[in-house]
Amino acid sequence: MALPMEYNSIQRISGPLLFVEGISNVGFNELVEIRSEGGIMRRGRVLEITKDIAAVEIFEGTTGLSTTQTSVRFLGRPLTIPLSMEMLGRVFNGLGEPMDGGPPPFTEDYRDVNGLPMNPFSRDYPTQFIQTGVSAIDGMDTLVRGQKLPIFSGSGLPHNLLATQVARQATIPGEESSFAVVFAAMGIKHDEAAFFKRSFEESGALKSSAIFLNLADDPPVERLVTPRSALTFAEYLAFERDMHVLVIITDMTNYAEALREISAAREEVPSRKGYPGYMYSDFASIYERAGRIKGKKGSITQMPVLTMPNDDITHPIPDLTGYITEGQIVLDRDLHRRGIYPPINILPSLSRLMKDGIGKGKTREDHGAVASQLYSAYARSQDLRSLSAIIGEEGLTEKDRAYLKFGDAFEQRFLSQRFDENRDLEATMRLAWKMLSILPEAELTRIADHFVKQYYSRE
Amino acid sequence: MGVMAIQGKISKISGPVVQADGVAGLEMHELTMVGEAELIGEVVRVEGETATIQVYEDTVGLKPGERVTGSGLPLAVELGPGLLMGIYDGIQRPLEVIQKMTGDFIKRGVKSPALSREAKWHFVPVAKKGSKVQGGAVLGTVQETPLFLHKIMVPPRLSGTVKSIAKEGDYLIEDTVAEIETSSGIEELKLYQRWPVREPRPYQERLEPSDPLITGQRIIDTFFPVAKGGAVAIPGGFGTGKTITSHQLAAWSDAEIIVYIGCGERGNEMTEVLLTFPEWKDPKSGRPLMERTVLIANTSNMPVSAREASIYTGVTIAEYFRDMGYNVAIMADSTSRWAEALREISGRLEEMPAEEGFPSYLSSRLGEFYERAGRVRTLNGEYGSVTLIGAVSPPGGDFSEPVTVHTKRFVRAFWALDSSLASQRHYPAINWLTSYSEYVDYVEHWWAPLTGGQWRQKTLRAMEILKREDELKEVIRLVGSEALPEPEKLVMETARLLREGFLQQNAYDPIDTYSSPEKQYKLLTSILAFHESANRAIAAGVPASKISSLPALAELAKLRMSVPSEKISIIDDFMSKLLKEIDALTEEKS
C-alpha cells in the first residue's frame, strides 16, 4: 500500500469537525492524523465523505487549528487500540494511550475499537450468579455473569462508591477465578479519577484492572471512543484470554452529552431533547458488547453508571438505557439524605436475568421467594409510611405497625452496609430472614411453608 | 440473469447511507452490491444518474470511487422448506450458517443463501401431469417438521399446464419438481420461490375476522381478544413485560406457524428464545414449539437498515405460510425500533422531519405494515390468516408519542402495559381500564357453545366490578377502607380476587402459564358466583369482613396455579363447598 498522502487543503473548521478538500482514496470511519503549527499531533476519524470532501471529527478538539497551517494524513484503517495482557494494571486515556508515565504496551495485536456485532446464535444465556457482597444487589437484584446492569443515579449520589465496591468485591462463589475489572470513565472530574485510582490501588485490585480515563476537560470526541476502547480490551480478555471481565462505565450521561454536542455540530436533525435519533443504536453498540459466547470460558458483565438529569427516569438517557440493559439499580436521593448507604431503592430496581441466576445449585433454594416477599413487604411498608404520616401511627393496626417496623429495619440493617463490608450470600440471606421474622408468620404468603419452618425465628 | 447489470461508483458515504453516481436505470428498492466488499444494499432514492442506497452492513472503510452494482432484482426472501426452526438476520441471512463461516462475531460482506442448498426434502407430488394450475396451486408437499406440512405451491401470477411433475422422493431445494407450460414458455419450478419483501403477496379475497387467536393468556382471551387475522399493539415502557408477553404469545398461541421478529432488541433475549422454545412443548401435539417457529433476529447492535428490513422479511414469510391455508401469527418486538431505524435513515437522507424527528411517512408505513395482517381466501381457495402483534416501546412510557399514536390508528386491539402494575409485580401488566379490543363482536360466536352464550355478559359483569374498584379506591384514599358500606367492601374483595385469581398470570408457573378457554371461563364464573352469593349474604346482614376472612378465599385466588387445564372439574367441587360455607353464614343470620 502506498504511503498515506498528506493534505493541506482544509476547507473549514466547525466545532470538533474539520473539512478537508480534494481528497482521494479515503475510507469511511478511517483514522486521521492532524498536524498543526508547531508539529502538535492530534487524531480524528472520518465521519462523512463525498468524492472530494471528508468531514473529520477531531478527538482532541480543534482549538488552535487553522485552515492554512494544518496538514492532514489519512491512515487507511479505522481507530485501533493495542491489546496485550500487559495492559492490566495500567491507566490509559480514551484512545488507549498510556497515562501513567509507563511505556506503551509491546504488542503487534491491534484491533478496531468499534468491534463487530456478536452473532445472536453464538450467544450463551447468562445464568451464573455473581456475588457482589452488597445485600441489596445480591438479595434483591442479583447480577448474573454476562449481564448488563446499569446504576441509575443522580448528581451527588454515591454511585462511584458503589461501583468501586462492586468492582472490588465481585466474585463467583466456589470458583477461584476472580474478575478482571475494566474501568471506563468518561467526562469525570479530576478528583473522582483520583478517587478511583486510589481505591483500586489500595485494595490491590489495580493489578487485575485496566483503567481508561477521559476527564471532564478532555475533548468530548474522545469520550465517544473511551467505552469502545475499554470494551475492545474487555472482549480480548474475555474471549481470547478466558477471563471473566467486569466492565464499569461511568458516566453514560457525559457520553450522551458528547454525542449530542457532535451531532449538533454536524447539523443533524435532532430527536428528543436535542439528542440524535440514533442514540438508541449508539447506546446499543456499547451495551450489547456484554455477554457470553457458547464454547468460550470468559464473559463480559457490564455495570454502566448514569446520572439521571434532574433525577428524571423518563429522560432519554436512562429511558433508552433501560430499554437495552437487563434491568437497573436505582439510587434514591431520599435514602441518601437519611444516611443510608448504598441508597438503593429496590422498588424501581430490577434484574431481568435474576430468575435464571438464582435458586437451588446457584444461590439458595429459597432465594427467589424470599426476594419476592421482601419486595412486597417493603412496598407495603412504604405505603403505610405515607398513610401513617396522615393519620398517625396510632391509627394503624398491629399488623400494619409490624410492617412499619420491618420497613425501618430493612433500610437500616439490610440495605445499609459499610463501603468496605463484604457480605456473602449466606449473610445476606440470614439478614433477610431476620427482617422477615419481624412480620407475623402468617404474612409470609409468598414463601413455601417448609422454608418458613426452617428459617423463620422470632427474636 | 442475462441482463447487463448496472454499475456505477460511490460518490458519498454517511453512515449506512451511500450515494452512487453513473447508475441511471437503477430501480427503487433494487438490491445492490456496494463496494469491493460487496456489501448488501437497497436503493431508497433515485435522481437522474444518482442513486441513494441504504447499506445493510457496516460501511467502515468504504471509499468513494468503489463500484456499486445493481442486481436487477428487488430485495427478496427465499420461501421454501427449511424456513422453520431457523434463525435469520433482518435480510434473511441464516445466522447459524454465518456463525460457521465467520465465527462468533458477524463480519461484513458475508453471503449465504437463506435456505440450505444441501438439505434434502421428501417431496410427495399432489398435482397431476396435464392438469391446469394457477398461482397458489399445490404441486406437492414436504413434511418439514413433525408439526408442519409444507405445501409446495405454484408462485403467484403463474398459470399453465403441468408438463411434468417429480415422483415422490428426496430432492434438493434447487431441484426442479415441476414444469409448467405457460403462454410464454416452459417454467421450471423448484422447491422454493422468491418474493420481494416490500410487496404484499396476492390472495383472492380479504375476509372479516371470525375466530379468536387463543393465546392461553386469560386477560387477553377473555377480555381483550384478538381475532385470527387481526392486528394488535402492545405498548409499554421498559420493565413492563413486553418481551415476556410476546414470548408467551409466541409459545402458546393456537396458530400453526409463529414468526418471531426480534427487531432492535437485546441479544440475550433472542438467546432465551433459542434456548427455551425447543424445550417448550405444543399443548396439542407435545412436540417442541420450535418446530413451528421462524426466528428473525436483528438485535440492537446489528446494522440499523437491516432492522428496517427485518419487519418486511418477517411479514413476507408469514404471508407465504398463510398462502398454504394456515393461520400464522407474527410477533414484532419492537416496532418502535423499526420506526427509529426509519428515522435514522430519513435523517441521513436529509429529509424534512415531522414529529420528534420521525419522517412524515411514518404513519403511512405503519399503515401499510399493519394492513398486511388479515384473514383471506388464498389464491388456491383455502382460508388462511396472518395475525400481527406489534410491541411498541414508547419513550418514557408516554403513550402520546408518535409511534404509539399512529399505531393506534391501524390496530383494533390495544394491550396497554402499565408500569405501576409492573412495579406491583402484577403480570401480565396489561391495564384493564385502558386496553381495548374491537374484535369482541367478531369472536363472541366462538365462545357461545362453550359458555351457553353467557360469555359477553360475564365479562362485562367482571369488568364492571373492576371499574367500580377503581372508583372506590379514590374514596378509600380520602376516608379509609373502614368507612365503606358493606356491599362496597365486597366489591373490593371480589375485585381483588379477579386481579389475583384471574388477571394475574405467572408465565413461569408450569400450570398457570397456559389457561385453556374452558378453564378461563370456569375461573371467571367461579369468582362471579362467589360475588353473587356473598352479596346475598351481606344483604342478609353478614359482615363483609367475615366473608373476606373465609380461608377458602385464599385458595380461590390460587386455583389458577393449582388446577391444570385438563382437570377443571376440581374447581366445581371447590366452589360448591365455598358457596355452601357462605350460605351457612347467610342462614346463621336469617
B203 near B153, Cβ under 8 Å?
no
Q: Report d(CA B324, CA B384) in Å as an integer.
A: 7
Q: Which of A24, A125, A278 sits opposite B268 (nearest CB)?
A: A125
- For residues A57 and A268, the answer to whether their CB atoms sit within 8 Å is no
Question: Which positions in chain B touch A285 (Cβ < 8 Å)?
Answer: 301
Q: Do B299 and A288 touch (CB under 8 A)?
A: yes
Neighbours of B200 (CB within 10 A): 18
d(CA B541, CA B549): 16
Rounded Cα–Cα distance for residues A161 and A163 (Å): 6
Inter-chain touch A123–B268, beta carbons under 8 Å: yes
Taking CA atoms, what residue in A is nearest to B479? A391
Phi and psi angles of residue A22, each rounded to the nearest 5 degrees, phi first: 65, 30
Please give the domain boundaries of chain A with CATH numbers for all domains.
Answer: 6-78 (2.40.30.20), 81-355 (3.40.50.12240), 367-455 (no CATH)
Q: What's the confidence (pLDDT) of residue A449?
A: 86
As beta bridge partners, residue A41 has A35
In sequence order, what DSSP letters do the residues of A356-376 get, joined into one string?
HH-STTTS-TTHHHHHHHHHH
Contact (Cβ atoms closer than 8 angstroms) between residue A34 and residue A42: yes
- Structural contact between residues A7 and A62, judged by C-beta atoms closer than 8 angstroms: no
pLDDT 10s digits, B88-113: 999 999 999 999 999 999 988 888 99
Spell out the SS3 assignment of A183-250: EEEEEECHHHHHHHHHHHHHCCHHHHEEEEEEECCCCHHHHHHHHHHHHHHHHHHHHHCCCEEEEEEE
Share of chain A above pLDDT 70, in %: 98
* pLDDT tens sequence across A276-303: 888 998 999 999 999 999 999 999 999 9
**A311 has a chain B CB within 8 A of its CB:** no
User: Which chain B residues contact residue A56 at CB under 8 A?
Assistant: none
How buried is B190 (Cβ within 10 angstroms: 0-12 exposed, 13-18 middle, 19+ buried)? middle
Chain B residue with the nearest C-alpha to that of A235: B105
Chain A CB contacts of B235 below 8 Å: none
Shortest alpha-carbon distance between residue A237 and chain B (Å): 15
Q: Which residues of B touch A123 (CB under 8 A)?
A: 267-268, 270-271
Q: Is the omega angle on the peptide bond into residue A342 within 30 degrees of 0, that is, cis? A: yes
Q: If DSSP states are collapsed to H, E and C, what string results for B424-469?
A: CCCCCCECCCCCEECCHHHHHHHHHHHHCCCHHHHHHHHHHHHHHH
SS3 state of residue B302: coil
Q: What is the pTM of this model?
A: 0.91
CB atoms within 10 A of CB B28: 12
Enclosing H/E stretch for A177: none
Disruptive mutation site among A19, A21, A50, A121 for chain B (greatest number of B CBs within 10 Å):
A121
3-state SS, residue A388: helix
Strand partners, A301: A246
- Is the separation of the CB atoms in B358 and B289 below 8 Å? no
For B558-582, write each residue's pLDDT tens digit. 899 999 999 999 999 999 999 999 9
Amino acid at A299: S
What the block records as the C-alpha cell of B358 is 420521525
Cβ A288–B267 below 8 Å, yes or no? yes
**Complex-level ipTM:** 0.85
B423 at A interface, C-beta within 8 A: yes
Reported as a pLDDT band with limits 50, 70 and 90, residue A260 is: very high
Candidates B96, B237, B347; nearest CB to A121: B96
Please indicate whether, in this complex, the C-beta atoms of B63 and A27 are within 8 angstroms of each other: yes
Strands B383-392 and B327-333, by their bridges, are parallel
Which residue do the cell numbers 434483591 mark?
A140
CA distances to A381, B14, B28, B345, B397 from B52, rounded to whole Å, are 60, 11, 9, 11, 35
The residue in chain B having the minimum alpha-carbon distance to the alpha carbon of residue A324 is B266
d(Cα A205, Cα A89) in Å, to the nearest integer?
A: 8
Chain A: closest CA distance from residue B104 (Å): 5
Contact: A125, B301; criterion CB under 8 Å:
no
- Residue A46: predicted pLDDT: 92
Half-sphere exposure of B534 (CA within 13 A, CB side): 27
Q: Which of residues 15-54 of A touch B (CB under 8 A)?
A: 24-30, 47-51
Q: Which of A121, A314, A348 sits opposite B99 (nearest CB)?
A: A121
Q: Determine the distance in angstroms separating the CA of B380 from the nearest CA of chain A, rounded to an integer.
A: 36
Q: Would you tell me which residues 164-183 of chain A have a C-beta closer than 8 angstroms to some C-beta of chain B?
A: none
State how far residue A422 is from chain B, nearest Cα, in angstroms: 29
**Per-residue confidence at A258, pLDDT binned at 50, 70, 90?**
very high
Nearest Cα residue in chain B from A325: B266
CB contact under 8 A, A121 and B95: yes
Q: How far apart are CA A121 and CA B105, in angstroms?
A: 10
In this predicted structure, what is the pLDDT of residue A287? 96
Q: How many CB atoms lie within 10 A of CB A3?
A: 7
Which pLDDT belongs to residue A1?
45
Chain A closest CA to B100's CA: distance in Å?
10
Do the chains contact at A319 and B98, CB–CB below 8 Å?
A: no
CA distance A414 to chain B (A): 21
Q: What is the pLDDT of residues A157-201, one digit of tens each?
A: 999 999 999 998 998 887 766 689 999 999 999 998 999 888 888
Residues of chain B with pLDDT under 70: 1-4
In which residue are the cell numbers 352469593 written?
B533
Q: Which residues of A touch B271 (CB under 8 A)?
A: 120, 123-125
Our CA-based measurement puts residue B59 at a distance from the nearest CA of chain A, in whole angstroms, of 7
> Which triple of cell numbers denotes residue B515?
389457561
Ramachandran region of residue A451, left (φ > 0), alpha (ψ -120 to 50) or beta?
alpha
Q: Give me Rg for the CA atoms of chain B.
A: 27
Pairwise CA distance, residues B564 & B519, whole Å: 8
DSSP letter for each residue of B528-552: HHHHHHHHHHHHTT--HHHHHT-HH
Burial of B576 (0-12, 13-18, 19+ CB in 10 A): exposed
Length of chain B: 590
User: Exposed/middle/buried for B131, CB within 10 Å: 0-12, 13-18, 19+?
Assistant: exposed
Dihedral of CA A392/A395/A398/A399: which sign?
negative
All residues of chain A having their beta carbon less than 8 Å from the beta carbon of residue B106 are 116-119
Q: How far is A359 from chain B (nearest CA, A)?
A: 14
Exposure string over B344-366, b if 16+ CB within 10 A, otherwise e: bbbbbeeeebeeebbbeebbebb
CB–CB of B239 and A281 under 8 A?
no
Residues of A with Cβ-Cβ distance to B357 under 8 angstroms: 269-272, 277
Q: What is the mean pLDDT of chain A?
A: 91
Distance CA(A285)–CA(A307), nearest Å, equals 20
**Interchain CB contact of A126 with B (< 8 Å):** yes
Residue with cell 400464522: B328
Residue A58 pLDDT greater than 50, yes or no: yes
| Domains of chain B, earliest start first | 7-74 (2.40.30.20), 118-191 (2.40.50.100), 205-433 (3.40.50.300), 454-589 (1.10.1140.10)
Query: Residue A383 pLDDT more than 50?
Result: yes
Alpha-carbon distance B582 to B82, whole Å?
59
Residue-wise DSSP of B22-37:
S-TTPPTTEEEEETTT
User: Letter for the amino acid at B208?
Assistant: E
- Return d(Cα A320, Cα A277) in angstroms, integer: 11
Please tell me the predicted confidence (pLDDT) of residue B65.
Answer: 92
